[in-house]
Amino acid sequence: MAEPASVAAESLAGSRARAARTVLGQVVLPGEELLLPEQEDAEGPGGAVERPLSLNARACSRVRVVCGPGLRRCGDRLLVTKCGRLRHKEPGSGSGGGVYWVDSQQKRYVPVKGDHVIGIVTAKSGDIFKVDVGGSEPASLSYLSFEGATKRNRPNVQVGDLIYGQFVVANKDMEPEMVCIDSCGRANGMGVIGQDGLLFKVTLGLIRKLLAPDCEIIQEVGKLYPLEIVFGMNGRIWVKAKTIQQTLILANILEACEHMTSDQRKQIFSRLAES
Amino acid sequence: MEEETHTDAKIRAENGTGSSPRGPGCSLRHFACEQNLLSRPDGSASFLQGDTSVLAGVYGPAEVKVSKEIFNKATLEVILRPKIGLPGVAEKSRERLIRNTCEAVVLGTLHPRTSITVVLQVVSDAGSLLACCLNAACMALVDAGVPMRALFCGVACALDSDGTLVLDPTSKQEKEARAVLTFALDSVERKLLMSSTKGLYSDTELQQCLAAAQAASQHVFRFYRESLQRRYSKS
């Protein structure tokens, strides 16, 4: 008299892996599997498809696809681990299959090698500064990693200073290390950030949007007041304008940019430009 | 400054075994979910099932005390606070169940020596509390961007004294039932991640409840998908 439980199980559509190309720009959820372009022919509709055995070995036609944030390799498919929109970038120089990644909205920063970030010096121990970058542990910064620093000529860095630097070591197993010089030994804008100004936090997605090459927000903001601005990929922005009131206005505009459409933004800018 | 996405979905799930002598089909209560409503945690979500409502906040991957750190994966902590009174033994046991479910799903090896903390606050309890907590925890983990290998959902069902199966029972139905079973299922293959049962039931009844829960989880996952699509379409 037992009702077979398998009846219900069969009616549940087991989600088949979809081709990555068809899902570009759509929202993907964790747990979905994506097929890379060259595997789509192999997954014929409904199982075993007979193909003539080709003498010309097609195994070498595999392209090298880079798996970006939010995706992981799972066998020869891509497994989605974060929720967001799937994006793809074609390879510039022709070799390889490009980069796939998931554009997700996050507040928490995870250190990545090569990222430029704003940190706050929390401790000075011997020759190393401990810098809080918003990740799970503080990054270490050696006093020799500043432009023109030698053992005799130490940089003037105090606890509580703001530092703009980049990561040279940032992986899940080691403590992150940052420096304030580039590979040629020049500061290139990095180092201790000057006096005054305001540091505030925004989401990581907004930073990426503001740093995109064709972002109009920064151009419009620049036309309003003369200002200095530093973006850290860890979600921190430092702003300085001539007066405190202007600085606060700029901070509020940038924080609100996330939720405004471009029309609302233009309205606000025109209102501010008049006053 | 907070983005509010309020998604309402009225979902009815019919029990697959229509020819069963055990009464009419079962249905899930009205769902609602809101994400990113708290400004301090890295991710937050509020999940409503009928009148049961749970608020969840996720912090992580963040610093962890040296005594609690695990060298090769993230330390997952769950804190459940009841609506009134201090947390007791029942909360502790529910925390452990939720933690085991989350650990099966979260990719902790990507963030070793960090801590991921899920804080759940019961706002109102009108039956199927553990299932609602699981759903809120899942939505909050997704909102925080914690890497996961699948989504999970909680489904509760109650068995009457004459064997009628009721999905998503209210507190009155839970009190009168002879057995209450809660299952946590994953989104990839509807596999069972966790089960917590109370009362008297037979082997076949367990299988039937599990099958009904798997069918109902489809609706919950569809609701997750719609809610997340709505959130990303606004940006």
Query: What does the pLDDT look like over B105-114, one tens digit per residue?
Result: 999 999 999 9
Half-sphere exposure of A125 (CA within 13 A, CB side): 7
Contacts of A110 in chain B (CB under 8 A): 61, 111
Flag whether residue B215 sits within 8 Å of chain A, measured between CB atoms. yes
> Is A198-274 in CATH node 3.30.1370.10?
yes
Distance CA B232, CA A103 (A): 10
In whole angstroms, how far apart are CA A209 and each of A206, A231, A241, A257, B1?
5, 11, 22, 10, 17
Per the listing, tokens 């003037």 go with A156
What length does chain A have? 275
Backbone phi and psi for residue A109, each to the nearest 5 degrees, phi listed first:
-95, 140
Identify the pLDDT of residue A72.
94
* Identity of the amino acid at B161: S
Q: Assign A47 to helix, strand or coil.
A: coil
Q: What is the pLDDT of residue A140?
A: 97
A82 contacts in B (CB within 8 Å)?
Answer: 142, 145, 147-148
DSSP H or E segment with residue B54: strand B52-62
Q: Out of B60, B210, B232, name the one closest to residue A108 (CB).
A: B60
In terms of Cα–Cα distance, which of B175, B176, B180 is closest to B213?
A: B180
What is the pTM (predicted TM-score) of this model?
0.87
Instruction: Tell me what pLDDT residue B67 has.
Output: 95
Of B17, B150, B229, the CB nearest to A31: B150
* Residue that is written with structure tokens 């991710």 in the block: B43
d(CA A175, CA A163): 18
Instruction: List A residues 30-89 in contact with B (Cβ-Cβ < 8 A).
Output: 30-31, 70, 72, 79, 81-85
Identify all chain B residues contacting A11, using CB atoms and an 8 Å cutoff.
16, 215
Cβ atoms within 10 Å, residue B99: 18
Look at residue A3 in the predicted model and tell me its pLDDT. 42
Q: Which of B234, B150, B171, B69 lies closest to A74 in space, CA to CA?
A: B150
Chain A residues within 8 A of B163 when measuring between CB atoms:
none
pLDDT (0 to 100) of residue A53: 61
Residue numbers of B between 42 and 61 with CB closer than 8 Å to A = 42-43, 60-61
Residue positions counted in chain B:
235
Give pairs for A213-222: CB < 8 Å, separation 24+: A216/A262, A217/A254, A217/A257, A217/A265, A220/A265, A220/A266, A220/A269, A221/A250, A221/A253, A221/A254, A221/A269
Question: Which domains can be identified in chain B, with CATH numbers?
Answer: 31-233 (3.30.230.70)
Q: What is the DSSP letter of A21?
A: G
Between the CA of residue A192 and those of A145, A156, B161, what are the distances in Å?
Answer: 12, 9, 72
- With CB atoms and an 8 Å threshold, state whether B228 touches A173: no
Name which CATH class applies to A18-39+63-103: mainly beta
Domain positions in chain A are 18-39+63-103, 115-192, 198-274
Gap between the Cα atoms of A181 and A183, Å rounded: 7
Spatial contact of B157 and B165, defined as CB atoms under 8 Å apart: yes
Q: What are the residues whose beta carbons fall under 8 Å from the beta carbon of A251, sequence distance 6 or more? A: A198, A200, A237, A239
| pLDDT score at A274 | 83
Task: Give the gap in angstroms from C-alpha B174 to the nearest C-alpha of chain A.
Answer: 24
Confidence (pLDDT) at A47: 47
Which of A3, A28, A2, A1 lies closest to A15, judged by CA?
A28
Distance CA A107, CA B99 (A): 23
**CB-based contacts of A49: which residues, under 8 Å, 6+ apart?**
none
Q: Where are the beta strands (DSSP E) in chain A?
A: 18-19, 27-28, 33-35, 66-67, 71-74, 77-80, 84-89, 99-103, 116-125, 128-132, 139-142, 162-169, 177-179, 191-192, 198-201, 227-231, 236-241
Chain B residues close to A84, C-beta within 8 Å? 232
Say whether A198-274 and A18-39+63-103 share the same fold.
no
**Which residues of B, range 71-100, sit inside 8 Å of A by Cβ?**
none
- Please tell me the predicted confidence (pLDDT) of residue A61: 58
Question: Which residue in this structure is represented by tokens 């996405």?
Answer: B5
Interchain CB distance below 8 Å, B62 and A172: no
Whether the CB of B64 is below 8 Å from some CB of chain A: the reply is yes
DSSP A23: G
Beta carbons of B20 and A3 less than 8 Å apart? yes
Indicate the fold that domain A115-192 takes in CATH: OB fold (Dihydrolipoamide Acetyltransferase, E2P) (2.40.50)
Amino acid identity at B156:
A
Per-residue pLDDT of chain A (275 residues; tens, 9 = 90+): 444 444 444 333 445 678 888 888 899 999 999 988 765 555 445 445 565 665 665 555 567 888 999 999 988 889 999 999 999 988 877 667 789 999 999 999 999 999 999 999 999 998 999 999 999 999 999 999 999 999 999 999 999 999 999 999 999 999 999 999 999 989 889 999 988 999 999 999 999 999 998 888 888 888 888 999 999 999 999 999 999 999 999 999 999 988 888 888 888 888 888 87
Per-residue model confidence as pLDDT tens digits over B70-102: 999 999 999 999 999 999 999 999 999 999 999
| Whole-number Å distance between alpha carbons of B24 and B38 | 41
> Which ranges constitute the DSSP H helices of B81-202?
89-105, 129-144, 171-176
Q: How far apart are CA A206 and CA A254, in angstroms?
A: 9
A172 touches chain B (CB under 8 A): yes
DSSP state of A4: P
Q: Which residues of chain B have pLDDT under 50?
A: 1-26
φ and ψ at residue A77, rounded to 5 degrees: -120, 170
Cross-strand bridge partners of residue A58? none
Q: Give A 17-36 residues with CB within 8 A of chain B.
A: 27, 29-31
HSE-up (13 A, CA, CB side) for residue A165: 33
